[in-house]
Structure 1
Amino acid sequence: MLSSHLWIPLTLVAAFGQTLRNTLQRGLIAEVGTVGATHVRFLYGLPFGILLCVVVFAATGTKPFVPSLSFFAWTALGGVAQALATGLMLAAMRTKTFLVAIAYTKAEPIEIAILAMLVLGEVPTPWLVGAILVATAGVMIMSWPKQGTTEGTLRPAALGIASGGLFGLSSVGFKGGIIASGLGFLPAASITLMTGLAIQTVLLSLYLIATDRGALSKLLKAWRVSMPAGAIGAGASQLWFFAFALEPVAHVRTLGLVEILFSAAVSRTLMKQMASPREIFGIVLLLAGVVGVLNG
């Protein structure tokens, strides 16, 4: 009974950790650029991903793992999609407030529900579909531009929505990798995370070497401020993956919309960006949708 509800606290803590990581990454954009800031979660997350995997395999007595082609393909899909999604999200943050930029990405659960149904065979119930729509509507209301401030909104909106779609695709890819591993939920989640981080680190490092070695050099020199983002990101991702292994991805990512509440708190306390009455109404809808998911 406990294991059937374990995904809920895992998801909540993961969403909070993701908010902290996004905040740290956002602060690095000016110093190392958008691609460099994107690479922080992978380059500095990989050592922690390896450590987590070693600890989990040792604690569960799991034998050495030989990845199949299917496992590698699913995980590579998740890794590439997540890297692109992170870059688009950070680009959106450069032109809009932290809260609104995050909100634009949160059409993701609808896209995930469709992808998971088509690709993984995870068919949502009518109740879950309704809860996802209500929660997403709340996020969209929160992110809708104020009257007279539509100028310059189209680009961050497009970046954020595209980012959300790619985050959805990455969740489906990682869930496919977890299933293809054939392991128990703990080692399956850990090996998928480690493999995904390794793929992302190699690809983005090669990209920066080819296009912007200066950004990579700055990123390596900024290890003191980058290491916390990598550690928090790896920890949050590990919890997301544990939750994916236990529950359909549409459930997990819809509950993960509570990240927008954490982002609102960050905006208010760290960036002095106050929530408007409209945004508060959106929060109420979001919470109603989350409650629907938990009771679906």
Structure 2
Amino acid sequence: METWIPITIAAAFCQNLRSALQKHLKGALGTTGATFVRFSYGVPFAILYVAVLHYGFAYPFPAVTSTLLIAGALGGVAQILGTFLLVELFSFRNFAVGTAYSKTEPILAALFGLIVLGDRISLASAGFITTGVAGVVVISLARTHKGWAGVKGALLSRPAAIGLASAGFFGASAVAYRMASLSLEGTEVPMQAGCTLVYATVLQTLIMAGWMAWRAPGELKATLSTWRTAVWVGLAGVAGSIGWFTAMTLQNVAYVRALAQIELVFTFLAAWLVFKESVSRPEIMGCVLITGSVIGLILLG
């Protein structure tokens, strides 16, 4: 099994944990505040990770490149927008289905990767990626009315549009991060990923802090009072990001983001065990498709 596979699975678990914690915070902080703590409380952990790599494992620091500065900034802004929209989805649908709307990302990531980096995927991999996305669509439509009218209504709904936009921003940010990380030379993959993560996370925190100080000062202040939960959001978010950045430095973004669909399995466990939500047969069918897609990608990998 290639290294990027277990790293991606671990990152998916951490991301799901972070999303669950953010859902709790959204009630107290709102969409912007819940998005902000994901970055701001993650900065110390990201810096600590890079420090451990350098002082504990003797990985040298790479030279800063213009590609890192530009691509990392674009990726950071796109991730802010994607995270904001993902948190906003919780206002429309339940936790499991709300997350599922954003999971059309692999196809968009494959397209962006091909256009920007020239990354290509095999025909078999494309089939497994499509299967996984089909599973996501089944889950997303599971609680709509029966018949074409219900399906059409779901596809044209505001949550669907928000989910698609979120997926697009996440796909774009993943490709930008891979470009930024690969531009760093003179060190190893963990340090490439770690330095890109620190740069992006610090920049995201500064951007959001400035925006909130101007537009939502009360919400910015509230993020300090919820530090007991927010610090875990930051830790889980950085732990997941370390996995994503490392895996995307090692492998084509489309493969990483497709394998990350396993998060839906973790999502349903969280929805069932933590939020006490019911799971329908179509949603179970969607999970089966996603699991099949994940297994296929693992076997190919």
Question: TM-score interval w.r.t. the shorter chain?
Answer: over 0.9
Q: Find the counterpart in structure 1 of residue 144 from structure 2.
A: 146
Cα distance in structure 2, aligned partners of 1:133 and 1:216 = 40
Task: Say which of 101, 104, 110 aligns to 1:104.
Answer: 101
Q: Structure 1, residues 197-240: CA drift from partner, whole Å, max 9, x if none?
A: 01100000000001010000000121111101101111111011
Amino acid paired to 2:64: P
Q: Find the counterpart in structure 1 of residue 17 from structure 2.
A: 20
Q: Find the counterpart in structure 2 of residue 180 from structure 1.
A: 183
> What's the CA shift for 1:295?
2.5
Cα distance in structure 1, aligned partners of 2:208 and 2:112 = 26
Q: Structure 1, residues 138-197: CA drift from partner, whole Å, max 9, x if none?
A: 111011042167778811111111101111111101101110112320100100111110
Mean alpha-carbon deviation: is it higher for 196-205 or for 141-150? Answer: 141-150
Amino acid paired to 1:105: S
Cα distance in structure 2, aligned partners of 1:129 and 1:273 = 32
Within the alignment, does 1:211 sit opposite 2:215 as a pair?
yes
Cα distance in structure 2, aligned partners of 1:107 and 1:146 = 18
> What's the CA shift for 1:273?
1.2
Q: Find the counterpart in structure 2 of residue 63 from structure 1.
A: 60
Cα distance in structure 2, aligned partners of 1:120 and 1:57 = 29
Q: Structure 1, residues 108-135: CA drift from partner, whole Å, max 9, x if none?
A: 0000111111111111111111111011
Contact 1:19 1:259 survives alignment (8 Å): yes
Paired residues for 1:96-245 under 5 Å: 96-144=93-141, 145-147=143-145, 154-182=157-185, 183-245=187-249
Amino acid paired to 1:79: G
Contact 2:78 2:173 survives alignment (8 Å): yes
Cα distance in structure 2, aligned partners of 1:64 and 1:285 = 42
Q: Find the counterpart in structure 2 of residue 38 from structure 1.
A: 35
**Aligned alpha-carbon RMSD (Å):** 1.5
Contact 1:92 1:157 survives alignment (8 Å): no
Sequence identity (%): 34
> What's the CA shift for 1:49?
0.4
Mean alpha-carbon deviation: is it higher for 256-265 or for 285-294? Answer: 285-294
Contact 1:60 1:187 survives alignment (8 Å): no
The count of aligned residue pairs is: 293
Q: Secondary structure at the match of 1:102?
A: helix
Contact 2:61 2:191 survives alignment (8 Å): no
TM-score (norm 1): 0.95
Cα distance in structure 2, aligned partners of 1:295 and 1:198 = 37
Amino acid paired to 1:155: R
Cα distance in structure 1, aligned partners of 2:86 and 2:213 = 22
> What's the CA shift for 1:246?
1.4
Within the alignment, does 1:52 sit opposite 2:55 as a pair?
no
Contact 1:109 1:132 survives alignment (8 Å): yes
Cα distance in structure 1, aligned partners of 2:235 and 2:282 = 35
Amino acid paired to 1:16: F
> What's the CA shift for 1:272?
1.4
Within the alignment, does 1:282 sit opposite 2:286 as a pair?
yes
TM-score (norm 2): 0.94
Amino acid paired to 1:37: A
Structure 1: state its 5+ residue gaps. none
Mean alpha-carbon deviation: is it higher for 55-64 or for 179-188? Answer: 55-64
Contact 2:62 2:192 survives alignment (8 Å): no
Q: Find the counterpart in structure 2 of residue 256 from structure 1.
A: 260
Contact 2:259 2:294 survives alignment (8 Å): yes
Cα distance in structure 1, aligned partners of 2:265 and 2:295 = 14
